[in-house]
Amino acid sequence: MCEAGGDAARARETARRVLATRSVSAVIGPSTTAGAGAAVPLYAAASMPVVLVSVDDGTAGLSTTALRTLCVTRASDSSQTLPLLSYLTRTRPTHRTAVVQDRAAGETAVEITRNLVETPPSDGTITVHQVAAETADFGPAVAHALATRPEAVIYAGTSPGRAAACARALAAAHFTGAVAGFEPVMRADFLTAAGQAAEGWVFEAPYTEAQSAGTTAAKAFTAAYRARYGEAPGRWSAEAYDAVGLIARSLNALGTTTTIKPAQVAEGLFHLSYDGVAKPIRFVQGTTHTMNPENTAFLYQAGGGAFHFLGRYDEVPAL
């Protein structure tokens, strides 16, 4: 696993050192957007498989189509609406949804809103209510949203503080329907600033919480992690463990020969079906080398001053 503290120059230097080590067959990381954007093209140019666990390739300006040995094992930001669509269709069916689009989030908010409008929960209706980046007052947008009598409100933005302002406005208007947002908001600042208004908010996230999952694999991983580090698994730890397992599976498939080349390992990765601790890993067969996003993200809910793991989005029971 390679790290460079998020510094692009250090990431490139680390990549050069790794590539000079002939015994390396695959790389996991970097875990920062800047590091990945700088180092991954160097690995790909040398046909070295590089597995990104926590970095979104699109955000880092990378392409699995162009970089043939780039393997991304996290759900893409482009599919981040999928868990909330599932929640508001299957778990808590909603036919009228209002989206509060925070223009301070720029193109991210635009893309989220576009995806929701094109595929509304329960095949219902969507209304969109924009908040200018220059204002911190969410009251007018929330009032317009609630005038449409929605059963759910989704905050399309990335700021914990501004999401908290949206939450407070909804609470002040006595809205009792479903409320949801996206992982960048899922920070302590949101809970602190929103206070009681944060209660019940549901968030999507591309990582699991192994210690709260009920599978046999998650329990075994959690026990082993606690024994080794004396604490519960941290964020992305189960996903990193699965990346190691995925690479090991590819290596094992090549047999015991000592002439294994990194390019062979990379090719094998994309033909594997791997059921990891966190999620199933399947790749779309073809030229894109992208991971199938189905059933690869998770839901959390705010309550009691914390974010509680609900489970993989397709496994959260209906209310």
Amino acid 2: pLDDT? 54
Looking at the chain, the number of H-run helices and the number of E-run strands are 10, 12
Amino acid 256: pLDDT? 66
Amino acid 270: pLDDT? 94
Element (H, E) at 135: none
Map out the domains of the chain as residue ranges: 8-77+235-282, 81-205+297-315
Amino acid 257: pLDDT? 63
Alpha-carbon gap, residue 34 to 7, rounded angstroms: 7
Residues contacting 18, CB < 8 A, separation 6+: 2, 24, 27, 43, 48
8-77+235-282 against 81-205+297-315: fold identical: yes
Which segments in the chain show pLDDT lower than 50?
none
Residue with tokens 């599932």: 86
Amino acid 6: pLDDT? 60
CATH of domain 81-205+297-315: 3.40.50.2300
Tell me the per-residue pLDDT of 222-266, one tens digit each, with 9 for 90 and over. Answer: 999 999 999 999 999 999 999 999 999 999 998 866 678 999 999
User: CATH homologous superfamily of domain 8-77+235-282?
Assistant: Response regulator (3.40.50.2300)
